[in-house]
Chain A
Amino acid sequence: MGARLAFSIDLDRCIGCRACVVACCTGNELAPGDAFIAVSEVIRRGEEGLWGSFAHHRCFHCAEAACVEVCPTGALSKWQGLTAVAAERCSGCGYCVDACPFHVPAVRDGLVSKCVGCVDQVQQGEAAWCERTCPSRAIRFGDREALLAAARERVQQLVARHPRAQVYGDAQLGGLGLLLVLLDRPGVYGLPERPTTPLLLDVWQAAVQPGALGLSALAGLTMGAAFLVARRRRALEHEAAGADGPAPAPPAGKRAGTEGGDE
């Protein structure tokens, strides 16, 4: 295993053009309506007046990746810090959908849909599609240590203008493989300060993986998980029916501050 790779996004540089979304969809040849990246506006009216930024909703490539832990088929795995996807191994069970603390993966047409880290391209020495196309060079890809150092330096420059500017992803869940230079607290962007893996994962790791329980318990748990997945899918279908854009949006409760919403 070589150096740990990562993405970084400087939200002071992002202009919200969504060229990354288009490059990702076309480069990865996604089916119409599918997308690995969603970019949304964050607008607030606080004591400093109107304030705006962009939120990027996409895979964080966690070091301690709950999705990889729960994936029963090995469709999700870690490769040099990236959470790689082998769609041909996916059973469409949706465990990753429920396990992700950031609500990133979706199941589309029976297969997992999330940022694949452009692993195939990276292995051929090419850059990720989003990084390649970003016109303001807000998105970077490469060695995580170097990106983290650059992000911290960037925050030092930004605090004069944005006192709450900070790096997100340096330590969360073992360190994220998507580092964000935020202009304000994570909550403003709809991000959890301390993301945690859901209870289901604890049960899975504590009870099932050690093989301590019998098959009946496994069956019971699977049924429980299936119920949760089915319930979640219904909820997602509900959302999809009401939403206009096909891009995967964070669930309403997790969405970053909406227009005009005061602190």
Chain B
Amino acid sequence: MRGKFLRGPTAMQELFEPMITGKPYPITGLVLYGTNVLHTVPNVPRTKEALAKLDFVLTIDVLPQDHVAWSDVVLPEATSLERHDDLWTCAHKTPYLAMREPAVEPLYETRPGWWIAKELGRRLGLEEFFPWQSAEEYLNQRLGSIGLTLDQVREQGGVVVQKGKPYLTDFEGGPSPFTTPSGKVELYSEPLAKSGHDPLPRYQPVAEPPAGHFRLLYGRSPVHTFARTQNTPALHALQPENEVWLNDVAAAGLGIRDGERVWLENQDGVRSGPVRVKVTPRIRPDCVFTVHGFGHDAPGMTRAHRRGASDAALQTRYALDPISGGAGLRVNFVKLVRER
């Protein structure tokens, strides 16, 4: 799929069209590991069509989330407190690496992700790619490449922080870390101009909401992480469902009161909710806002099941950036329909 966009590998949402059309080449199998594609990828109807058409879907997850029901085989993974994971490495301003070790043994028939990967490799005849017996052995070998051992990382509390060198002066004499022609941060890009793109990004007007509709904005609350934590007891207790923020003046115009429950219905007739209205001066009158990650359909998500609305379900359309392939999701419009 590389090549459809100017820079970088194809964004995830562009992988689903080929699963349906077989073009530019067929995709017939899918392994989903820790990714709830029905909450993280726009155009859910298309995702479901693709999942139904694939020959084989394998899901590895810690929770019986929405997409698990679309799988041929489910391998339940041990939770983060029950497993080793690969090193977490972060190369930002202050580079660090972190390790994860199990606090308790896995419960039930769950297995750590590393074990699942190694065993799949062994049983598929790919044993040579997993030349280690345990997670500790693998981690020690990886840490060894920078002169560390697992025990040393443990002694430092599981996190090793290295003072960063984020400034260009640190690279004096060596090659610039920027791969631009000038070796600097470029606001005006010749390579973009040569490839027929706008060398200096200009604002391009976006479609305005049709009458009676609001632009659907989404974001996060500090309580929940993506669509992963809505079923976690302590966090569910703090925020069991999302709300839809509605401008106070717009609410008065619609006769909608704070706390009323409404369905959100988008421009393509897709509904999500019902969800409680939060009337607030903190949002523009032409937009509504909701916290991402709610509106889980799977009955196995016992607490989060059908609580709140799913912004992902309402994002049946998206805009594509031709340079990066990134998806702009705030191009969907919803109207508020009273619960009854």
Chain A residues close to B by CB (< 8 Å): 15-19, 21-22, 25-26, 32-33, 35, 43, 45, 50, 52, 244-247, 259-260
Q: In the bound complex, how far is the Cα of B63 from the Cα of A80, in angstroms?
A: 45
Report the 7 A-B pairs with minimum CB-CB distance, sorted nearest first: A17-B222, A22-B234, A259-B280, A260-B248, A45-B281, A260-B281, A18-B238
Contact B223 A18 (CB under 8 A): yes
Say whether, besides A50-B281, A244-B240, A245-B240, A259 and B234 are in contact (CB < 8 Å): no
Q: Output the least CB separation between B308 and chain A (Å).
A: 11
Most chain B CB atoms below 10 A, which of A32, A45, A50, A260: A260
Q: Is B278 an interface residue (CB 8 A)?
A: yes
Chain B residue at smallest Cβ distance from A38: B238
- 26 A-B residue pairs with CB within 8 Å: A15-B222, A16-B222, A18-B223, A18-B238, A19-B222, A22-B238, A25-B234, A25-B237, A26-B234, A32-B237, A35-B237, A43-B281, A43-B282, A45-B281, A50-B281, A50-B282, A244-B240, A245-B238, A245-B239, A245-B240, A247-B237, A247-B238, A259-B280, A260-B248, A260-B279, A260-B281
Q: Output the least CB separation between B128 and chain A (Å).
A: 44
Contact B278 A259 (CB under 8 A): yes
Q: Is B233 an interface residue (CB 8 A)?
A: yes
Residues of B within 8 A of A43 (CB): 280-282
Q: In the bound complex, how far is the Cα of B235 from the Cα of A25, in angstroms?
A: 11
Total chain B interface residues with beta-carbon distance under 8 A: 17
Q: Contact partner of B238 among A15, A21, A32, A259, CB < 8 A?
A: A21
Chain B residues close to A by CB (< 8 Å): 222-223, 233-235, 237-241, 248, 258, 278-282
Contact B222 A18 (CB under 8 A): yes
Q: In the bound complex, how far is the Cα of B234 from the Cα of A26, in angstroms?
A: 8
Contact B278 A245 (CB under 8 A): no
Q: In the bound complex, how far is the Cα of B238 from the Cα of A244, in angstroms?
A: 10
Q: Output the least CB separation between A162 and chain B (Å).
A: 19
Q: Output the least CB separation between B273 and chain A (Å).
A: 15
Q: In the bound complex, how far is the Cα of B236 from the Cα of A22, in angstroms?
A: 11
Residues of B within 8 A of A16 (CB): 222
Contact A32 B233 (CB under 8 A): yes
Contact B223 A17 (CB under 8 A): yes
Q: In the bound complex, how far is the Cα of B233 from the Cα of A152, in angstroms?
A: 38
Q: Output the least CB separation between A217 and chain B (Å).
A: 44
Residues of A within 8 A of B237 (CB): 25, 32-33, 35, 245-247
Residues of B within 8 A of A21 (CB): 238
Q: Output the least CB separation between A27 and chain B (Å).
A: 11
Q: In the bound complex, how far is the Cα of B240 from the Cα of A32, in angstroms?
A: 13
Residues of A within 8 A of B234 (CB): 22, 25-26
Q: In the bound complex, how far is the Cα of B248 from the Cα of A43, in angstroms?
A: 13
Residues of A within 8 A of B239 (CB): 245
